Structure 1
Amino acid sequence: MKIRHNVKRGNYGFLDSKDISFFESVIGKRNLLQEDLDGYNVDFLRSVCGNSQLVLKPGSVKEVSAILKYCNERKLAVCPQGGNTGLVGGSVPICDEIILSLQRINRIISIDQITGITVCESGCILENLDNKTREVGLVVPVDLGAKSSCYIGGNVSTNAGGLRVLRYGNLHGSVLGVEAVLASGQIIDLMSDFKKDNTGYHLKHLFIGSEGTLGVITKISLLCPPKSDAVHLAFLGLSSFDHVLRTFINAKRYLGEILSSCEMIDAGSLEASVSHFKLNAPIQGYPFYMLIESSGSNASHDLEKFNEFLENGMKNGEILDGTVTAELSKIQDIWKLRELVPVALVNNGYCFKYDISLPLREFYNIVNVMQDRVGDLAKCVCGYGHLGDSNLHLNISCEKFTEELYNRIEPFVFEYTCKVKGSISAEHGIGFLKRNYLKYSKSPESIKMMRSLKKFLDPNGILNPYKVLN
Structure 2
Amino acid sequence: MSKSLSMLFTLVNKSNILGQIRYYASSALPQLSSEKYGIKRKHFSPLQQEDINYFKSIFKEGQVLTEESEVLPFNIDWIKNCRGQSKLILKPKSTEEVSKILAYCNEKRLAVCPQGGNTGLVGGSVPVFDEIVVNLALMNKINTLDELSGALVCEAGCILETLDDYVRERGLIMPIDLGAKGSCHIGGNVSTNAGGLRLLRYGNLHGCVMGVEAVKADGTIIDCLRTLKKDNTGYHLKHLFIGSEGTLGVVTKVAISCPSLPKAVSLGFFGLKSFENVLQLYKSAKSSLGEILSAFEMADNCAIKSTVENLKIPNPISDYPFYVLVETHGSDENHDNEKLTRFLSKEMESGLIIDGTITSEPAKMKNIWHLRESIAGAGLLDGYVFKYDVSIPLTNYYDIVLSLRKKLGDKVRNVYGYGHIGDGNIHINVTVPQYSKEIYSLLEPYIFEQVAKLNGSISAEHGVGFRKPQFIHYSKDASALQLMRELKRTMDPNGILNPYKVLPDV
TM class by shorter chain equals: over 0.9
Equivalent position to 2:48, from 8, 12, 16? 16
Q: Which is further off, 152-161 or 27-36? A: 27-36
Q: 1:111: how far off?
A: 1.4
Distance 1:187 1:347 in 2: 43
Q: 1:29: how far off?
A: 3.7
Q: 1:443: how far off?
A: 0.4
Distance 1:27 1:288 in 2: 53
In the other structure, the counterpart of 1:286 is 320
Distance 1:308 1:300 in 2: 12
Deviating beyond 4 angstroms after TM superposition, the runs of 4 or more aligned structure 1 residues are none
1:164 maps to amino acid: R
Distance 2:394 2:341 in 1: 25
Q: 1:402: how far off?
A: 0.9
Q: Which is further off, 198-207 or 274-283? A: 274-283
2:53 maps to amino acid: S
Equivalent position to 2:287, from 231, 236, 253? 253
Q: 1:125: how far off?
A: 0.5
In the other structure, the counterpart of 2:491 is 457
Distance 2:163 2:319 in 1: 38
2:442 maps to amino acid: R
Equivalent position to 2:194, from 152, 156, 160? 160
Q: 1:304: how far off?
A: 1.3
Q: 1:5: how far off?
A: 1.4
Q: 1:140: how far off?
A: 0.5
In the other structure, the counterpart of 1:2 is 31
1:303 maps to amino acid: N
Q: Within 5 Å, which residues of 2 pair with 1:47-446?
A: 47-446=81-480
Alignment partner of 2:377: what SS?
helix
Q: 1:112: how far off?
A: 1.4
Q: 1:420: how far off?
A: 1.0
In the other structure, the counterpart of 2:16 is none
Alignment partner of 2:226: what SS?
coil
Q: 1:143: how far off?
A: 0.3
Q: 1:279: how far off?
A: 1.2
Distance 2:58 2:487 in 1: 29
Distance 1:98 1:430 in 2: 20
1:416 maps to amino acid: Q
In the other structure, the counterpart of 2:65 is 33
Distance 1:342 1:21 in 2: 41
Q: 1:16: how far off?
A: 1.2
Distance 1:400 1:14 in 2: 33
Q: 1:435: how far off?
A: 0.7
2:240 maps to amino acid: L
Q: 1:55: how far off?
A: 0.1
1:26 and 1:66 in contact (8 A); partners too:
no
Distance 2:256 2:59 in 1: 28
Alignment partner of 1:30: what SS?
coil
Distance 1:180 1:25 in 2: 24
Q: 1:361: how far off?
A: 0.3
1:363 and 1:392 in contact (8 A); partners too:
yes
Distance 1:143 1:315 in 2: 33
Length-normalised TM-score, structure 1: 0.99
Deviation track 1:71-121 (CA, whole Å, cap 9, x = no partner) reads 000000000000110000000000100000101111001111111000000
1:122 maps to amino acid: A
Q: 1:28: how far off?
A: 2.2
Deviation track 1:284-329 (CA, whole Å, cap 9, x = no partner) reads 2110000000010101111111122112211111111000000000
Distance 1:318 1:175 in 2: 38
Alignment partner of 1:264: what SS?
strand
Q: Which runs of 5+ in 2 are unaligned?
A: 1-29
Distance 1:347 1:417 in 2: 28
Alignment partner of 1:257: what SS?
helix
Q: 1:187: how far off?
A: 0.2
1:362 maps to amino acid: N
Alignment partner of 1:271: what SS?
helix
1:5 maps to amino acid: Y
Q: 1:265: how far off?
A: 0.6
Q: Which is further off, 458-467 or 12-21? A: 12-21
In the other structure, the counterpart of 2:6 is none
Length-normalised TM-score, structure 2: 0.92
Deviation track 1:110-149 (CA, whole Å, cap 9, x = no partner) reads 1111110000000000000100000100000000000000
Alignment partner of 1:347: what SS?
helix
1:435 and 1:467 in contact (8 A); partners too:
yes
Distance 2:292 2:250 in 1: 36
Q: 1:415: how far off?
A: 0.3
- How many percent identity over aligned positions? 53
Q: 1:406: how far off?
A: 0.8
Distance 1:310 1:172 in 2: 34
Paired positions, count? 470
Distance 1:14 1:404 in 2: 34
In the other structure, the counterpart of 2:3 is none
